[in-house]
Every structure is written in C-alpha cells, then in structure tokens.
Structure 1
Amino acid sequence: MTENYKDRYKYLVQILNQYSFEYHTLDKPSVSDAIYDSLFSELKKIEEKNPEIISPNSPSRRVGNAISGGFNKVAHSSRMLSLNDVFNYSEVTQWFERILKINKSIEPVFFADIKMDGLACSLIYQDGEFQQAVTRGDSFIGEDVTSNVRTIKNIPFFFNDNEYSFLKSGRTEIRGEIVILKKDFEKINDSRLLQGETPFANPRNLAAGTIRQLDPKIASKRPLRFIAYDILRENKDEIRTNEVAYNMLTSIGFERNRQASKISSVKEVVDFIEYWSERRKELDFNTDGLVVKINDRNIFDNLGIVGKQPRGAIAFKYAPEEATAVVEDIIISIGRTGATTPVAVFEPVQLAGTTVKHASLHNSDEIDRLDVRIGDTVVVYKAGDIIPKISKVLFEFRNGKEKKFNFEEELKNKFPNEEFYRPKGEVVYRLKNSDSSILLKKNIIFYASKSGLDIEGLGEKNVNALVDSGLVKELSDIYDLKKEEILKLERFGEISANNLINAIEKSKNPTLERFLASLGVRYIGNETAKLFAKEFETIEKIKKASYDEIINIKGIGEKATESILAWFSEQENIELLEKLEQLGVVVKSFSQENKQGSLAGKKIVITGTLKDISREEFAKQIVENGGEFQKTITKDTDYLVIGAKVGSSKLAKAQKYSVAIIDEDKFRANFL
C-alpha cells in the first residue's frame, strides 16, 4: 500500500466524523446520505484490504466487540463531585449567604443550567482526539465504558477547528450526561407495549443500563446522546468561567443545553428556577431540577469542598409529583400477544395533572421485589412523566390484614381453561395456546382500535359478546356478520346492530400501513408499518419480501425483520389474508393512498388542544386525505397545526425549519 492510500484513509476518517457531527449534533448535514454512504463504503474497502491501519476512531469502529470479564476500573484525574441539593428559594439565598461568610468580596455572578436526568460520564481526549470514556463511579474511580460510548453518534471523535486552538494540544476532559430523549424513549416503550412487552421504567435507567451492557452492539441500537456540561484542562487558567467553558464545548463540536445562562443576582437565580418550573416539561429530556454554580472557576475552586459537595454549586430540585394510594386489588391483563401483566388497582389519585387509578407492576418478579400486597399503602409516581408506577411500599402502614399475591395461582383462578408458560430467560408469563379465545378477543379489539382500523362498536364488551356467542371464531368472521345474527345478542338493538355493520363495512378499504399495524405482528407498530408501506407499497410485495430486502430498510431492525417473515410464513396467517380478501377487504397500495386527497404528499405535526376531536381522530383524517401524520417536527414537515394551549418548543422548532404554522380552523377549512 502506498502512502497515498494512508493519507486518503486518514482523511476519510476525519471527514466522515465531521459529516456525522453535522448530521447528529447540528442537524445540518452538508452532504446527502448517498454521498456519506459512498465514502463510508470506500473507507470500509480500504480497511478490509489493509486492517493494520484501522484507526480506533474510524466510523466503522462505532460498534466494537463484546467485552469479557466486565469493565476495567479507571481513576479520575479530579473527582466527579455530586452537588448539595436544595428544595426551596430560601435555601438558595442561604447558600450564597454561607459563601459570603467565607469571602465577602465575591460577586453574585452565577451560571445556571438544566440538570439532566442521565448517566454522568467523562470523555478523555488527547491532542483533540477521543481516547477513553469513564463513568462517575464513586467520584474517585469509575469504569472504562469506551467501547459502548463510541457507539453514541453525537460524540465527536475529533475536536472541530475553532478559536480555542490550544484545546488540540494535550489532555482535555469533557464531562456530561448520557441520556435518552423523551420522544425516543416514548417510541421504545410504545413499541414494547404494542408487542405485549414490559415497558422500561424511565429514560435514565435505560441509558445507564445500556452503558453497563458488555456488548456494544446493544448500545449501538439504542438512541443514546451525550450532552456535555463541563470541560477540564491541566492549566486551569485556560478556562476562566463556566460561561466560557460552554462556549468552548459548542466550538469543538459537543451538544450542550441551550437553556444554560449567566445570571447576575440571587433574585435572577430564583427567577430562572421559577421560569423553568413548568416549561421544563416541554424540554426534550427529563429533568428534576437545575444546577447553579459560581461562574468564576477560580473562585469556585478556592471555595473548596465539604464532604463530596463543592461549596460553589448547588442542585435545585423541583418537588417530585407523587402520591400515596392503597392497593385495593391486583389484576392480570393479557396483551394481544398473549403476554400477562399485573396491574395494581386503587382509588383515583391526582398525579402530574391527571387522574390515575391503575399502575403497572410489570411482572411477577417486580411484585416480589417491591413486596407489594393487596391492602398495602404504596407511593405512586409517573416514571418519566409518562407511566404510572409504584416506587415503594410504606411498610409502616401494614396492619397484618394485607394479602400476598400469588401470580401463578391467580392465573389458574382467573383463567382456568388457559395454559400459561414462562419462556426461559424471560420474566413474562405468556398464553401457551395461540388459539385461545382470550387471545382472539385481544387481537380483534386491537384490530378494531384507534391504533388499528378504528372500527366503532367493536370495543371490548361487544367483542366479548360476539366471540362468546360463537358468531366470531376468527378475526375474518367480523366481515361475515349478519344483522339478524347480531340482533339475537342481548347487547344489540336495531340501531346499534346497523351501526356496527356499517362501521365494519367502512373498514374494508384501509391504508396499507394501518392494515399492517392492525394485524398484531410482534414488533410491527405504526411507525414500522409505515416504513414497510413506503418500501414495498402493497401487502403482496411485503409477503414476498426476503430477509435482505427487509433488514436493509433504514429504521427496521432484526427483530421486526424476523417477526414479519415468521408471520407470513405461517399458513394460517396466509389463509387469514385470503379470507379477508374474499370477504371484500381491499388494502390500498401505498402509491394509491398517497396520490389521493387534498393533503397528498404533505407531512403534518399537531400541537396544543384541539376542538371537539381527539388527536388520534384528527391524525386519522390527515391520513385519509393523503397526508402523513408526524409526531415530531423535522426539516421535511410541511405544516404545524396549532390548537389551544400551545407549548413554545414546537413553535420554535417550526420557525427554525421554516415550517408553515396554521391554526386548526384554517387548516380544516383548507384541507379537511
């Protein structure tokens, strides 16, 4: 190999990392995906022919090999300190008063930032090139998690060229939080819930647990982000203030919070805390408070440390939204895939602005871990402001009348005609008989739900009646129902029977993505179904697709690929599709559904409270008129439809991307 190839390879490594930074951190790619893929292919070819020159910071090294024997211990060059918590405004004032007792001349100049709920991590760079990643650990010694952290796409392997040229010489340490953003966490849990799997508790635990995995391939598949909050150099005079430190982080290529601000009085600190009290819920990440530091880093260091906490900084914690409740019962829910989930039932309580009367207990192991019993007083909170969860039992309230919950016995008592099993290595009990009437009911209910084909009148009670009566023995039977048969059931009269028949008839021409999502194929939720629809356009093409054709679709993973192939390989599923077709169900091709309607080819996001209509129904109308409903704003979004009580974050993002902002009434008048 000539030196020219070496130079070419070195440049490819640098430029591809630069493109990655532009794409994942700045959200302003300077080249198309096709150009990036072509250069990446060239880089891989050079590495295959010349493995001895492979750089540890090559984009191809983002995912390394599994680690055996655990993580190595690494001593921090300086302690990764925790902060002293305060919980009210008077404690903020008292904190600065204590500082003045040490040095009366200190000016009230602070630097404040949102405290992210993630995993603290330190990144070591030598001469501007990434070397190592270490967790906080006990503040003195952490663990080397370099192989997992390399997979985080918004971490630069090389510092950008910038005005702080000295940073490319010597050792630089970047400290920050590894997080999973709310929208990404919601997608993960939505997918798990749709597949009957246990949702993850919160983004912080998922991020931390992912970094603790020994196989970097697991980390590479999860949407981790690194948000920097500090930069350390051996010569402390190079970074005089925390404000300068944040400017440096931006210049060299790191993502950091844009909410951070220099503040010039204690009153402004209190105002800053108050400002974010409610607005923090609009942020992309979870937070339970703010960090406030003395801005001058020399003064900060001179104030010293008390125990594990520096005197020059505090963490203001917002009051957590939690409530106590008495567990009146524990019931078992069976998902549409046959997975069983225990659910605690209690009197309604107000939690994070909503009324809550159920909390998932996830599985039998979680019941045992918490030692939850019927009659217990428990603490309920919303994990990540999303999922009601029991955090602990208040054992001091026990009086001896509480009743232990035996999961297996309860399954036998509640479902005597069903057989359950717990697969090896899993924590969830599942229905053993896939032909079970319970599973059939669940599948029909999901098929007819708003997430499926939205067939009004096929709710739980009516589905139970139809299946129990023998009128519906498989999903396709709903399209063969006769009005005179339905009228024989107690639940139906002339009007309700007519309405049900009409609603079923209206569902016979669904869009491809809604139809695919409604079938209950494991790991195929609405977003994944949309990817299949765009790629293959018809159900026939999906049925014939090969493993390689599916796995190469951006956004579709191995589990979804294997699941869809397995579903279409089962004869009973093919027969189901044939029966549906024979009964008049004609699925629109993707090209058909996108050529029709006033919103053909348009991408729409909704924000705020809508008038007299649910968001799901409004999204359905958008799709029926040829549009594409999006949950978040991207550069490709055409319209942001606003209702009442609109948050500022989506408006700001729409303005950033020059997305047309239109109110609900005007949008309806023009398009629906």
Structure 2
Amino acid sequence: MEEVERLKELTKSLHWHNYLYYVKNKPEISDYDFDILLKELESLEAKYPQYASKNSPTKRVGGDITRKFEVVNHNYPMLSLANTYSKDELEAFIERCEKGLGKSPEYICELKYDGVAISLRYKNGELEKAITRGDGTKGEDITNNVKTVRAIPLSISGDYPDEFEVRGEIFMPLDAFQRLNESRLEAGEDTFANPRNTCAGTLKMQDSKIVAERELDSYVYGFLSDKQGFIATQFEAYEKLNNWGFKVPQKHDNKVLVTDKPQEIFDFINYWDKNRGQLPFEIDGIVIKVNRFSDQEELGYTSKTPKWAVAFKYKAEEISTELLDVIYQVGRTGAITPVAILDPVSLSGTTVKRASLHNADQIEKLDLHKGDYVFVEKGGEIIPKVTKVDIEKRKGRNLEKINFISQCPACNAELKRVEGEAQHFCDNSLNCSPQVAGKLIHFISRKAMDVEGIGAESIEQFIHAGLIKLPSDLYTLEFSDLIKLERWGEKSVENALEGIEKSKEIPFQRVVFALGIRFVGETVAKRLVKHFGDIDNLISASRETLEAVPDIGPRIAESLRNYFDNPLHIEEINRLRSFGLKFQVEESEKKLENAVFEGLNMVVSGTFTSFDRNELKALIERHGGVIKSGVTSKVNVLVAGENMGPSKRQKAEGLGVEIWTEQQFLERLDRRD
C-alpha cells in the first residue's frame, strides 16, 4: 500500500533528520518542515497502527504514564570509577597501569559529564531497554523516559551486532536548566538546585511527556557486546558509535584525547579546568582510560571499579574580586532581583562580571559595601553567586553601605514587599517596560496561549514598532501591520496571524495561566478554574473564598485580589473576552453530575489494574474529589493500590484515614442516582 510505504519512509527520514540535528548539529531541513513531516507520520500511524514502529519518531514527545519502574538485571556489571584529586594520585594510577602491562599503554581522556549514568540495550538495531545504574548489578527500566532524549537514537543503521549495549550519561544542558528555573520562579514555585539533581529527578518521573519538555541531552562513552572483537580500542568504539547514530565526544572540539604521553593528559586536564565554563553543560572532572580493550582486560577489575580507568575530579572554584556596584533587574511579574557588578575575574574558565545576590535579605546578611572584596563561586550554579565578604580587606577603608532600593529601576514606582516574602516587587505591571515585554512573552509561550509563528524577538519587535502593549493588542494585528516590519515576509505574517487566531481555542485554565498573575502557575490555574468555572466567579471571589480552594494559601489569594481589584486588569480581561478567548469551562470539561466524592480529600498510592494513577486522579476530580499529595489529618480517603509502601498505610491508620482498595473505589464510583 502506498500510504504504508510512506509511513515507513517518513519513519526512516525523521530518524535521519533527528540525528543530523541533535548529534551532528548539521540540520538539512527547518524545524517547521520537520514538524510537518512528523504530523504526517502521526496521521498515518493513527490510520495504520499495526505498521507503527515501537521506536517511531512520534514517541519522542512522550505521553506514556509509567505505573512503576521495573527492576532489571544488567547483562554486564555497571561499575563506578575510582576518583583522584591530585597530580600525584594520577601519576600513581599511570605507574600501576605501566607496571601491570609491562609497557607504556595508550590512554584516552574524555570529559566527565555531571549527569546520570545510563545503560542502553539494542536488539536488531532498535532500542530495547534503558536502565539506570542502580546498585551496579541491577537498575530500573526507564525506557519510556529515555526515548524522549533526542540525542539517543531509537533506531540505528550500519554494521552493528544483533545485540549490544551502550553506556553513557544523560544530563540537562545549562540553558534548559535556566529556562526551567525561570519558568518556576515566575510561577511562584521553588527553583531547582542544580542540573544534575534535576536531571536525575526528571528521569524518574512517571509522566514521560514532562520528561520530554525538560530538554535532556546525552553523550555515550561505552560499548559492550559478546561480539566486541571487531573493535580494538575505546576510540574505535566512539567512531563506530558515531557512525551508527550516537552522540560521542569528538577530537575536533577537543572533547576527547588519545595519547601515550602523561604530560598531554595533564595538559588536557588543565585545559578543561580553565575552560569548562564555556561548555553548554556541566562537567566535574576528566575520565582517563587505557585505550586498548585487550589492555583493559589484562589489567582487570576490583570488586567495585575497573583498574584501567580513573576519574580526575575538579574542585569547586572560589575567587575574590571587587564589588563595583549593585544593579536591579525587573522580572515579568515585577519581582526585583539584585545583581552584583564585579571587577571582571576569571572563574572556571569564564570571565565573571556579574553574580546573583538573590534579594534584600541576602544583601543585609552579607553586609555589603560598594568597594568590598567578595568571594564568588560557581559550584554548580549557572549564575555565579557571592558567598561572603573579605572583611580584612575592608579595614581602614571608608566604604558606602549598599541599601536595597525603594523604587523600581525601570518605572520609578514604589516597591512593595508582602509580609513573609523574600522579594520586593513593582506592581505597576501595565506601564513598567520589562514587565510589559515579559508578560507578553509569557502570554504567547507554549504552556500558555501557544501562539505559533511568534517568539520573544517578535514581541520585542512589535513593542518597539508601537503595535502592541497588552496581550489583547495581539488580536488587533493585521497583515498590513506586520508586512512592513523588517524580516517579515508574506508566509511568516500569515503563520503569525494564523497562530494568533488558533490561540482562541486554548482552554480556560491555560488562559488564566497566560494572564501572568503572580504565583499563579499551571497547577494553581487548574485549581481555580475547576473551583470557579468562569472568570466572573473568580473575579468576584473574596480572599476568604479564594483561600477555601484547595492549595490556595493567603499569599496566592492576596495576589489574586490585588490583580482583580485593578480596573485596568478587568478592562484587559473583558477585551480578551471580546476577541473570543475562553473564560469559562467548556461543558466537556465540567465535572460529572454524579459527584460521589464531593467534599473528600483523597490520596492515591500504589499501582492499579483498571487505570494508571493519573487516570484515577482525573476520575476522582471529575466526580468532585480533591487530590492531595500526602497523607495528613486533613485527608479523608487513601485509595491503596498494589505495592504501596507500608509506612503510608501505617500513617493513614494512625490518623484514622479511611483506606479503600481499588475494588472498593470502583464500588463507590458505581453508586449512581
């Protein structure tokens, strides 16, 4: 059949373009063209599911819910590396290798990626399983999540063995980590501490769609097979892996070194100690291995580590420099963030001119003075931070104490600070230029109104041209407004206008999120919409009424009331409503009339045969129940599936919480009028 052949052709073609983009960094088609082909494949797979590959490119976007992670035995032990922190210890390692082999071997040096180790099993050219390190002999099967990492091929081509394993590292790039933390900060959520821990937590999430959104990346560095004899060295394995479609360290960008000269090993270590700050991901050292596989076998292993490899670990770098000034940045929600301006200094291979000071309390705690010498450290942070002041260097100098500002640096409005909050903020949201741009960029973002054809640069361009100031202004844009702008052709204008029009179909809860109200992230917006049903009920709700909504505390309630008490915000909402945006829950989204769980706070734990946990939670909410994350005295019911931890049951019993089995839940659900 012609359509089936087209399905197979698209599958192969999209795997190839994915490899060119994420591994070779040499795309041959645009993102738009890739998405068009992907949508065509999705359509064909829906029509002919029996011909869809289990590793289809459409699986990259995630969406599968994992009820639990199966524990799987490793075919080959997944050992750790011995660590060293000094030149003397590394020289001792080299001496042991030479003594054990009776010769000076060739070594291969590579970056030690600060991420999560992974084992990838391939069978007949297809990814079969992805397994965590675990205890080295067995790990957890996280295949669904790993399939979303675009640098890892789902299907390979070439002269590969029928079955083999690849070892590598999955990590979160620094720019992806920064975007994630910025979005959480803007939504009033806690930020993550560092990319490595965030990556580890992401890979253990139950919903692979969320994993796909986190933009994880990967390098591979190990090849294992019963038919390994056709590859003689570690570096040859890299070349083979790269030809098969894997992302590996390359000589041309100095991410790998092959040498038999110890001095070149130390030069490689020193180079990356100075230049690691230029990498788009974090490393915490250099791995040194004996290159030839036969030499590795001769040297052998201890019970925990290979004798032919070692990791040279870098120490966190801290350096002192002069504090020249403190400036203040304004976020899209009006939050004010102080930033230290420093006498430029080299730190972890980059020139540092700025460092985070977080908030007014941090400035006061450090007792900062202009002209102080301060210690700055990266230590896993993307933005360097000031850790302490060198008080000794202040003695005898008359320095000006730094006091937090009282007015917005962008619009001069008086700053406010809500009791119990760390940050000051400017509430002149409609006339403060950084907030105007930030709110518009947030409004069009994928998780909000998802306006295709328009990005952050477009928004800045529209503002500069005087075309927009408020989100509602987007819906007044016409072809004649955009075609006269620089770099805008007919097709791009049509795409932008089509994206604006299509955004009117976005459901109510995402419209509320798109408004950019302080502390109203995706989850809070969902809670509000579920409770109030339409925007008028939400606007008229008192603080007390708002706080009665599950998970809405005093801080969020006050932010909502401040927002809705501003007549300019109400005018903007009414204008958006007049353009056709959805400000009420659709009939199809409303909870069922049979609200058998009305008034019940419920916790779901364990695994179930009739549904996955997300389906079960959605069903509870549709029937009037409220989902809670943990067992407390305020919880009425614990729905207990298989493999639920005994501590949760004991806590529920101790608090007198009613415990339902899956069958008991179904019986109550079926009690219909």
Normalising by structure 1, we get a TM-score of 0.56
List per-residue Cα deviations over 1:505-545 (Å, max 9, x = no partner).
xxxxxxxxxx53377968979x9533546799832542469
Which of 79, 85, 88 is the equivalent residue of 2:86? 88
- Displacement of 1:120 in angstroms is 0.9
> Aligned residue for 1:279?
275
User: How has the CA–CA distance of structure 1 residues 535 and 230 changed in structure 2, closer, same or farther, with 3 Å as cutoff?
Assistant: farther
Residues 243-642 of structure 1 mapped to structure 2, 5 A cutoff = 243-258=235-250, 259-322=255-318, 337=333, 352=347, 381-387=377-383, 439-440=426-427, 447=433, 451=434, 515-517=436-438, 529-532=456-459, 538-539=467-468, 541-543=473-475, 549=499, 563-564=513-514, 572-573=568-569, 575=571
- Cα deviation for residue 215 of structure 1 reads 0.2
Contact 1:321-1:351 within 8 A present in 2 as well: no
Contact 1:210/1:219 (CA < 8 Å) preserved in 2?
yes
User: Which of 21, 38, 41 is the equivalent residue of 1:40?
Assistant: 38
Aligned to 1:7: 5
Which AA in structure 2 matches 1:153? Answer: R
Report the Cα distance in structure 1 between the residues aligned to 2:128 and 2:355, rounded to whole angstroms: 50
Mark the runs of 5 or more structure 1 residues left unpaired by the alignment.
325-332, 364-372, 392-416, 422-427, 432-437, 453-514, 579-672
Name the structure 2 match of 1:404: none
SS of aligned partner of 1:237 = coil
CA change 1:34–1:547 in 2 (3 A) is closer
| CA displacement at 1:300 relative to structure 2 | 0.9
CA shift digits 1:13-40 (9 cap, x unpaired): 1122112212222232233445434433
Aligned equivalent of 2:218: 226
Q: Which residue identity lines up with residue 285 of structure 2 in the other structure?
A: G
- Name the structure 2 match of 1:502: none
Q: Which residue of 1 aligns with 2:181?
A: 189
Flag the 1:265–1:361 CA change in 2: closer, same or farther, 3 A. farther
CA–CA distance in structure 1, aligned partners of residues 438 and 154 of structure 2: 39
Deviations 1:546-595 (A, max 9, x none): 99935979xx999986543577x8762375899xxxxxxxxxxxxxxxxx
Contact 1:230 1:245 (C-alpha < 8 Å) held by counterparts:
yes
Q: How many Å separate the matches in 2 of 1:199 and 1:559?
A: 23
Distance 1:214 1:390, change over 3 A: farther
Distance 1:359 1:209, change over 3 A: farther
Displacement of 1:315: 0.5
The structure-2 alpha-carbon separation of the partners of 1:524 and 1:150, relative to structure 1 and needing over 3 Å to count, comes to closer
* 187, 199, 203: which one aligns with 2:191: 199
Instruction: Measure, in 2, the Cα distance between the counterparts of 1:552 and 1:518.
Output: 19
**Match for residue 213 of structure 1 among 205, 208, 212:** 205
Q: What is the aligned partner in structure 2 of residue 157 from structure 1? A: 154
What residue identity is the alignment partner of 1:16? L
Alignment partners' CA distance in 1, 2:499 and 2:318: 47
1:574-623 CA-to-partner distances (Å, cap 9, x unmatched) read 75899xxxxxxxxxxxxxxxxxxxxxxxxxxxxxxxxxxxxxxxxxxxxx
2: CA distance between counterparts of 1:269 and 1:77?
Answer: 32
Q: Is the CA contact 2:316–2:378 (under 8 Å) kept in the aligned structure 1? A: no
State whether residues 119 and 167 of structure 2, in contact with CA within 8 Å, keep that contact through their aligned partners in structure 1.
yes
Could you tell me how far apart the structure 1 residues matched to 2:441 and 2:17 are?
Answer: 38
Task: Give the Cα–Cα distance (whole angstroms) in 2 for the partners of residues 65 and 362 of structure 1.
Answer: 42
Identical residues among aligned pairs (%): 32
Unaligned runs of 5+ in 2: 321-328, 368-374, 388-415, 447-453, 478-495, 518-534, 536-563, 575-673
Q: What is the aligned counterpart of 1:100 among 84, 98, 101?
A: 98
- Equivalent position of 2:551 in the other structure: none
Query: Given the superposition, is the C-alpha separation of residues 520 and 35 from structure 1 closer, same or farther in structure 2, using an over 3 Å criterion?
Result: closer
The CA distance in 2 between the partners of 1:31 and 1:62, in whole Å, is 18
Over the aligned positions, Cα root-mean-square deviation in angstroms equals 4.8
| CA deviation after TM superposition for structure 1 residue 173, in Å | 1.2
Q: CA–CA distance in 2 between the matches of 1:192 and 1:321?
A: 28
Shift of 1:355: 9.2
Q: Tell me how far apart the structure 1 counterparts of residues 222 and 13 of structure 2 sit (CA, whole Å).
A: 26
> 1:76-108: per-residue Cα shift (whole Å, max 9, x none)?
1112221111112121111111223333x2323
Q: In the alignment, residue 147 of structure 1 is paired with which amino acid?
A: N
**Which amino acid letter does the alignment assign opposite residue 542 of structure 1?**
L
Q: Indicate the residue corresponding to 2:230 in structure 1.
A: 238
Kept after mapping to 2: 8 A contact 1:532/1:542 = no
Equivalent pairs counted in the alignment come to 448
User: Partners of 2:99 and 2:106 in 1: how far apart?
Assistant: 16
Aligned runs of 1:126-145 on 2, under 5 Å?
126-145=123-142
Distance 1:203 1:232, change over 3 A: same
Correspondence for 2:47 among 46, 49, 53: 49
Provide Cα deviations, 1:409-451, integer angstroms capped at 9, x if missing partner: xxxxxxxx98669xxxxxx8999xxxxxx6527987x64xxx5
Q: Secondary structure at the match of 2:378?
A: strand
For 2:273 and 2:66, the matched residues in 1 are separated by: 44
Give me the whole-angstrom Cα distance separating, in 2, the residues matched to 1:100 and 1:557: 67
Change (3 A) 1:334 1:299: same
Closer/same/farther in 2, CA of residues 323 and 140 from structure 1, 3 Å limit = farther
Structure 2 length normalisation: TM-score?
0.56
